[in-house]
Amino acid sequence: MKHTGVAPRVLLVSSRADLGGGPEHVLQLLRGLSPHCELHVACPREAPYWQRFAATVGERNMLPIASRKLSLQDALVLRRFARARRIDILHSHGHGAGVLVRLCAPAGIRLMHTHHGLHFAEHSSGARRFVLTRLQRALERRTDLTVFVSEDEQRTAWAAGLARSAWVVIPNGVEVLPEAPSVVPAADGRLRVATVSRFNAQKNPEGLLAVLGALARRQGVAERVAVSVYGDGEVEARAAFAAHVDARGLRAMVSLRGAVPDLRAELRRHDVFFSCSRWEGLPLSVLEAMALGLPAVLSEVDGHRDILANGSHGVFGYPLSEPARAAEALEGLMDPEFRARSGVSARQCVAVRYSRETMLQQTFAAYENLLSTSVRETIA
């Protein structure tokens, strides 16, 4: 990364520090940009990312804020902290942090916001969508630069009447190791499928059950597949999913793994990644799996479409309304040679289009452009 002046002083703000793609994205920025920027973080004091952020920037450069809710006290403390540290750029991540930062930012500080998904624009009720969309339009007028993590996200924003001021697409990125890790086949010969769920509307547990059921109905397939479901959510929702698995006789095929501190390490023990989400931003879990050489089967929805368009022969899409198509794709990947070729294509896709290094370079360039004399000429 090439400096054009003094290292920017940046305060990254997230209303989440639990396990999730948004906090992991912030951590990647901190680790990659710390040699080039003076970095600070405002986030909830919750595991595991508060500790991971603090280990990167130092405890003294951390500011605790409430988890996923607006607070006048947080706004005042954030404002004082930004002034005291002479912050140049406030970079908010996600809806809650974006509202907090753009309502309370002191004059003279550049504002940059990364959405990480625009679910309110398409997946909220009419009244809620109306209110949140207009709120975002108002906040956008206070934002010097809006970042979208995928072309899909930018198109959704445009359709909702957003992205009318300065914006840029910086796709999420993950580390791609020089060599793909060797995959040891399962001792029992089963196809090991990994998926991630919070058992909420976005992650679509009903859709996962439908695909599992479609697999079970395919002759001789159920006993040849092992599906590991990672992640946690509301206790009741997770328990309800487990009850449905048992009621439908799918327990032999499904293992609920819960939240794990290092998903990438777990993915190395699988053959295929699957996602049936109803929408995404640009999911890091999918990119992490592909970077390890796992082919992916994905629902054809916002946030997946960019990957499906760029993934060549390593990514397979299916309409949400047709779970049998997902089951067919997964069955096809039982062929070891076909799966190996698909995995190579998936990994190449990430190396070319979704590398961590490219994401860091583009983010640093955006910071430097923000501090130049004319943001709209250099970015728009």
* 310 and 375 inside one domain: no
Any domain includes 186:
no
Q: Is the pLDDT of residue 375 over 60?
A: no
Pull the structure tokens for residue 328.
């067919």
Please answer whether residues 288 and 267 qualify as being in contact, where contact means their C-beta atoms are separated by less than 8 angstroms.
yes
Q: Which residues pair with 194 in a beta bridge?
A: 228, 273
| b/e burial code for range 272-293 (CB count within 10 A of at least 16 → b) | bbbbbbbbbbbbbbbbbbbbbb
* 16 and 63 inside one domain: yes
* pLDDT per residue as tens digits for the range 322-365: 999 999 999 999 999 999 999 999 999 999 999 999 999 999 99
What's the confidence (pLDDT) of residue 307?
Answer: 96
Q: Is the pLDDT of residue 379 over 50?
A: no
* pLDDT per residue as tens digits for the range 34-47: 999 999 999 999 99
Any domain includes 184:
no
**Measured between alpha carbons, how far is 97 from 113 in angstroms, rounded to an integer?**
9
Please answer whether residues 298 and 307 qualify as being in contact, where contact means their C-beta atoms are separated by less than 8 angstroms.
yes
What's the confidence (pLDDT) of residue 119?
Answer: 73
Which structural domain, as residue segments, surrounds residue 276? 191-353
* 204 and 120 inside one domain: no
* 114 and 84 inside one domain: yes
**Measured between alpha carbons, how far is 141 from 145 in angstroms, rounded to an integer?**
10
**pTM: predicted TM-score of the whole model, two decimal places:** 0.90
Band the pLDDT of 373: cuts 50, 70, 90.
Answer: low
Domain total of the chain: 2
Please answer whether residues 291 and 350 qualify as being in contact, where contact means their C-beta atoms are separated by less than 8 angstroms.
yes
* 47 and 146 inside one domain: yes
Pure H helices in the chain: 21-33, 49-57, 72-84, 95-104, 119-122, 126-140, 151-159, 205-217, 235-247, 263-267, 284-291, 305-310, 323-332, 336-353, 356-370, 375-379
Supply angle C-alpha 368, 373, 375, rounded to 5: 65
**Measured between alpha carbons, how far is 292 from 285 in angstroms, rounded to an integer?**
11
Pull the structure tokens for residue 346.
């998936």
Q: How is the beta sheet containing 89-93 ordered, strand by strand?
A: 62-64, 38-43, 9-14, 89-93, 110-114, 145-148, 167-169
* 169 and 282 inside one domain: no
* 283 and 241 inside one domain: yes
* 303 and 374 inside one domain: no
Q: Is the pLDDT of residue 378 over 70?
A: no
What's the confidence (pLDDT) of residue 136?
Answer: 87
What's the confidence (pLDDT) of residue 5?
Answer: 64
Any domain includes 185:
no
* 343 and 251 inside one domain: yes
165: closest CA among 113, 128, 122?
113
